[in-house]
Amino acid sequence: MKKSLYFFIFAILLSSLINISFSQSGWFWQNPLPQGNELTCVKYLPGEIIYAGSKYGLLMKSTNGGINWSFLNIPNVTRINSMSFINASTGWILTNEASPKGIYYTSNGGLTWFARPTGDTLYTGYAMSFINSSIGFVIGSEKIYKTTNGGLNWYNSYSNFDESFSGIYCINEQVIYISSANGYFAGKVFKSTDGGQSWQSTTFGYCVDDIYFLNSQTGFILTSNCIVRTTNSGNNWSTIYSGPSYTYFRRFISSGSQDIFACGNSPDAEGFMTGCIAKSTNSGANWSLTGFGFIGSYTSISFEDNLHGVAVGSFGAMYKTNDNGLTWNKIYYGYNRELCSITFANENTGCASGYSGKIFRTTNGGNYWDTSITLNAANLKTIKFAGESTVYAAGDDSVHGLLYKSTNNGANWNLISSGVYTPFTSMCWINENSGYISCSDGNVIKTTNGGSNFSALPTGLSNINSISFVDNNTGYCIKNAGHAVKTTNGGNNWIAINNVTGSLVYFINASTGFVKYSDWTNDIIYKTINGGGTWSSTSAYTGINDIKFFNESTGYYTCNGGIFCKTTNGGINWIRKILNTNNDINSLAIINGNVLYLAGFGGTIMKTTTGGEPIGVKNITTSIPVKSYLYQNYPNPFNPATKIKFSIPQQKSPLEGGMGGDFVQLKIYDVLGKEIAVLVNESLSPGIYEVEWNANDYPSGVYFYRLIGDGFTQTNRMILVK
């Protein structure tokens, strides 16, 4: 109980104190927090300053050792590969893609960033290291670049089309070591003793992923699960540690004269790849390996001194040590194993389910998710509300189907079916008593009394993957990569639909429905408007996992790779919307035309209050206002869109290096005071901003919009007339 209370308080503090900035995409992270993208690099600096870069271009900063986080805006950056800071204010980041592509520089702790591109438009940098404010190196595909003026100019220090440089360590301005992955059997270490004017290489019979030196003599390289050491400045190398099978180390760091750490991933007892850290306290002579429960890998590790360090990795994972790696404490909130399904009873109450029997539960619209519930199951593939308080979760124990039921919004669960059927794959509930569940052996089971009894309904199919029932009588089933069948009498009889194949079926009503088909290279969405009699097709992104519609016009589908698409014409055309993640999205829940939730890989839960539409908040002036102010919207009355303007003044206590900004929220409320949309939810620098609200899905009436800032709140009234 104390542990649950602690995590509840931690989550509330975290969600209120971090400046989560995804408002331009219209989506907000709810799990993990502060965000769930892979963190690719981290730097822990004196004064409890931490910077962390992400796979999706997000740069995070903490000024109190990871307790609170803010997000630093760098436009057009989609991935941060590496960073190098010489102090808390001055640093560089290396991006995979940007405009201009490559390198950005800050001298005020990340408040502003300036492009420092190499000038090579085809160059992709993987790692960087600055020795001081002037001299730095960038390595990547085929080339090594050097600067002597802080990145204002770069010159090519080395070029070879056969190389793929992976890691860099600078002993001083003259002695530099660089590793090259270069395939699995031809990795190299490059060494320069004249500041990069010339290079000598040593070839290894394996891939070399990173390089690090404790001193001028003792250095290490990483190759898959092995650590290799030199004690004579790279003249000779020998393997000194081999991790367990399938272990993969990614990066080195040191916390002292003899202490060195290597981070990566290693399989746990269930076979899942989880983060791990190897540590040596005697210059690499002996090593110990520590495993962590989060799925994925550590990607980077950094120490402030010989005690305090931070390691980051997959799906937003962040762990901190205050005792030189003896213990590591989680400093992010949430659960990062895969979530398979998400469902809501109303705008506040929802549940999500996933692997290892995990159940998430919220009663406040996702502001806090209770992640403490674990049921006895290998996988809870699907979860559905069947009423205001009744919810079912179905899955398997790897052999048999399991069905759990809760009658108090997911707070408590009872197993109501076990060991009789093969694993359950999909389910539909008409009400809290009547439901259909598909089994992997081709049967559909039916209950009319809330799971007290079930009857088997053979379909003639094998390996059913998906079902969709629109009422007690009409339903559809489809096998994996196979044909579909239809019933109009509650499953007593089934009719073959031989003119469509697929693996996912979803019907809006008895006549209108959709089937997803995949040919391994592309997905196709088939649509019928006559109950499966005929079908039309539309090409789609690969890896569709879920399709749902709010009405016959507006619908959505989710994919692997963080792809989210929307249609407003009944599936004739689909438009991809910005999601700010590339995590696989397995499931979506629709509350209304504007409020949606997504769930997926790495424990991902995201929410939108704009129907997935981006919010174009923009600064429309270069002047600095003297006070906060919320202007009257224009036009007013309006139909269907209006613009809202507001001003943000200079902070009373500007951040180090220049002016800071306030954490600002702009929310829309209906006449009853219910929050219906969040237009702005981020830290904004001083200026006058404008954002558009499209009320196309809302009825005519009086609405209110409220600006909330640092010590400031103002509410105005507006009228929608259709």
Going along 430-522, which residue ranges are E strands? 435-439, 443-447, 455-458, 464-469, 475-479, 482-487, 495-502, 504-507, 513-518
Pairing of strands 70-72, 79-85: unpaired
pLDDT of res. 101 = 60
Find out whether 137 and 146 touch, Cβ atoms under 8 Å. yes
Please tell me the predicted confidence (pLDDT) of residue 471: 96
Contact 371, 335 (CB under 8 A): yes
What pLDDT shows up at residue 391?
98
Report pLDDT for 657: 30
- Domain residue spans in the chain? 244-333, 618-720
Name the percent of the chain in helix, strand, coil, to the closest 5: 5, 50, 45
- Which pLDDT value is given to residue 1? 42
Confidence (pLDDT) at 7: 42
> Would you identify the CATH topology of the domain 618-720?
Immunoglobulin-like (2.60.40)
Q: Which residues of the chain have pLDDT under 50?
A: 1-23, 98-100, 652-661
CB of 101 within 8 A of CB of 93? no
Could you report the per-residue pLDDT of 62-108, keeping only the tens digit for each?
999 999 888 886 767 878 999 999 999 999 999 876 444 689 999 99
Q: What is the pLDDT of residues 189-211, one digit of tens each?
A: 999 999 999 999 999 988 999 99
CB-based contacts of 388: which residues, under 8 Å, 6+ apart?
A: 345, 346, 349
Of 594, 550, 598, 599, which Cα lies nearest the Cα of 571? 550
